[in-house]
């Protein structure tokens, strides 16, 4: 893929009925210390004022690109639509209700530039409530060994903190609510490295809509499927290697 050199990072934001927090979330990207980015906003058939807000912001900043999906598709397909258009060397994921710290893109971009062997980088987060008040912290696993071992059994990355190399990786849309974990497992399966930065780079919003019981059940189910798929392939690979030896 030929990437334009003036776009260092493509920020991917899937949006569905996010009018309450969307302006604050987008502005946290527009105010980044690293200026050479594009923000690709994928409107997943919102029925509130999200589209109106996005169009108003586009008139003020041409780094925002809008993709309007024709039918409700879910976050995995929406993000894939954005990644397909991404011109940046790196992809950063951003949720429409979170807030990025001002130096988030700069810090993650510089880390990946210095560490060519790392494919994906995550970070810590400050957890906030629906009113933006701090309610806790997410402290990421920074040990390479501990992170790898933990990922073999459970998801231990905050998805909206990640940045990764724009090298043809996509989300598998089947893994509803766990497409991020499936993504990490496939990165590991390809023998590519994942790391975490020790400090918070986003404010991660925790509210009722993000923790419905049905979402949690779906997440648990598809997380299990992602793990089964990963371990089946790993066992098959080890078996093939043993047969060849």
Which residues of the chain carry a pLDDT beneath 70? 1-5, 208-214, 234-245
Of 117, 108, 97, 113, nearest to 162 (Cα)? 108
* DSSP letter for each residue of 52-70: HHHHHHHTT-TTEEEEE-S
Is-contact 74 44, C-beta < 8 A? yes
pTM, rounded to two decimals: 0.90
Taken in order of first residue, the domains within the chain and their CATH numbers are 9-244 (3.90.550.10)
Q: What is the pLDDT of residue 217?
A: 77
Span 142-198, pLDDT tens digits:
999 999 999 999 999 999 999 999 998 999 998 888 999 999 999 999 999 999 999
Beta bridge partners of 193: 118
Helix or strand run (H / E) with residue 44: none
pLDDT of residue 220: 82
């Amino acid at each position: 893929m030929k990437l334009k050199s003036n776009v260092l990072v493509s920020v991917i934001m899937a949006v569905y009925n996010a009018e309450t927090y969307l302006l604050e979330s987008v502005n946290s990207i527009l105010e980044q210390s690293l200026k050479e980015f594009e923000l690709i906003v994928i409107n997943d058939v919102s029925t509130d004022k999200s589209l109106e807000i996005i169009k108003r912001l586009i008139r003020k900043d041409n780094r925002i690109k809008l993709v309007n999906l024709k039918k409700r598709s879910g976050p995995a397909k929406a993000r894939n639509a954005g990644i397909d258009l991404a011109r940046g060397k790196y992809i950063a994921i951003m949720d429409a209700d979170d807030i990025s710290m001002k130096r988030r893109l700069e810090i993650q971009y510089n880390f990946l530039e210095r560490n060519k062997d790392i494919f994906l980088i995550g970070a810590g987060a400050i957890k906030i409530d629906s009113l933006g008040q701090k309610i806790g912290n997410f402290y990421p696993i920074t040990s390479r060994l501990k992170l790898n071992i933990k990922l073999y059994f459970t998801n231990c990355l905050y998805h909206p903190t990640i940045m990764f190399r724009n090298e043809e990786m996509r989300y598998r849309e089947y893994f509803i609510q766990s497409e991020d974990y499936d993504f990490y497992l496939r990165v590991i399966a390809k023998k590519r490295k994942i790391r975490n930065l020790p400090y918070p780079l986003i404010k991660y919003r925790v509210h009722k809509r993000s923790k419905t019981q049905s979402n949690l059940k779906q997440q648990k189910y598809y997380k299990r499927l992602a793990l089964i798929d990963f371990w089946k392939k790993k066992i098959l690979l080890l078996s093939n290697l043993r047969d060849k030896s």
